[in-house]
Amino acid sequence: MLIGSHNHTIDNKGRLFIPAKWRDDLGNAFIVTKGFGKCLFGMSLPEWEKLSAKLAALPLTDKQAQQFVRYLSSWATDCEVDKQGRILIPAKLRTFAQLDKEVTLIGVTNRIEIWNSAVWEAMDAEMESEYDEMMARMANMGI
């Protein structure tokens, strides 16, 4: 299970260390793509295949759905873990997520999120102030 958070640095070549305990769940190669809120999503090949099956089932006649599928897929890339436990994040994904030096990795059950640490800290502070409200909403959803 992908949980917790880790702070790392990304080097000037775009290589980022992935914690060993997460590599067991993600595998030696996994998909990284554009996420929500200026982060990147990283997911194992089986998780990507589950998502892809759901995306493929969307109606071809739904323009917005097809645009989303096209857009998400066009940003997706295979990332292989090297012998030092790092992945190479392509420049366009680094630019989108503003990954320049300090990076925070977040485990989100079935995927990881890769954040610029300053952006994550601001998001974390915002979520902290809304935590009770989020908990109440989750309770109303049966969680």
pLDDT grade, residue 141 (50/70/90)?
Answer: confident
What is the pLDDT, as a whole number, of residue 129?
A: 87
Whether pTM > 0.85 for this model: the answer is yes
What CA–CA distance (Å, rounded) separates 85 from 26?
Answer: 12
Looking at the predicted structure, is the pLDDT value of residue 19 above 90?
yes
**Rounded mean pLDDT of 90-107?**
97
CA angle 68, 72, 78 (to 5 degrees): 160
| Residue with token string 């030696």 | 28
Strands 15-17 and 40-44, sheet pairing: unpaired
How far, CA to CA in Å, does 19 sit from each of 7, 24, 67, 92, 112? 10, 9, 34, 23, 11
**Rounded mean pLDDT of 36-63?**
96
